[in-house]
Structure 1
């Protein structure tokens, strides 16, 4: 029998996984932008790293929503269509979780069966987002190693 405490814990875990995934999509955008971009974008006229330009770019990426991050990644053309589509699907799950989940399930909390249904739904969302988050971390690590090997 699912308790309200278990549901709140599961909700917190799912939100954490959603935010972890979103942060890694931002990291992916940063990596691929630098990898595909003009090195002069982050250099001052002397050829040294322009810290202000780097900070401004990091702050800009940090303010983007997951949908905006996906759009920027799509515009770079560095990811295949299947990966972009997967980010879109995961963004829909994240949006549903963050913006609609409580409203959609609040009435279910009054019954044992309803609470169990809510808990199972949250565990499924958490599993999907956590897997995507960890897969993205592995992808980023692999790309970073490839980049380092080319240096």
Structure 2
């Protein structure tokens, strides 16, 4: 793991997220015909147990951190960029946490958290590290019968 260096963590998250999203679609967690789009909600339903009763301390800590200190969503209000504490509209904890993981990725990818330097580097590093921990737990704990994310 890249330690607490936000640049190294961001590179690791991009790489892990890209492989993970491809694996979801290849394992038939997609939205069906048309654009190849991962169905994160369906996947969240299949791994809900990991989030309800985590057996690993670091996974439990990562989930708790994401729920207690969720990443904000970049918004435009009155023509000005800002941040919103936008809670996802979902009834499933695994879905909520995976939405937060995707928000961390989106904030990076779309430039919200980095403009030559990381904004709030310690918080950014924590969000990146916890996102990686959660994705790793999902990969390790997934048991989807015929569907496998490690193929």
User: Same fold per TM (> 0.5)?
Assistant: no
TM-score when scaled to structure 1?
0.45
- Larger relative contact order (CA 8 Å, sep ≥ 6): 1
- Greater helix content: 1
Which structure has the larger Rg over C-alpha atoms?
A: 1
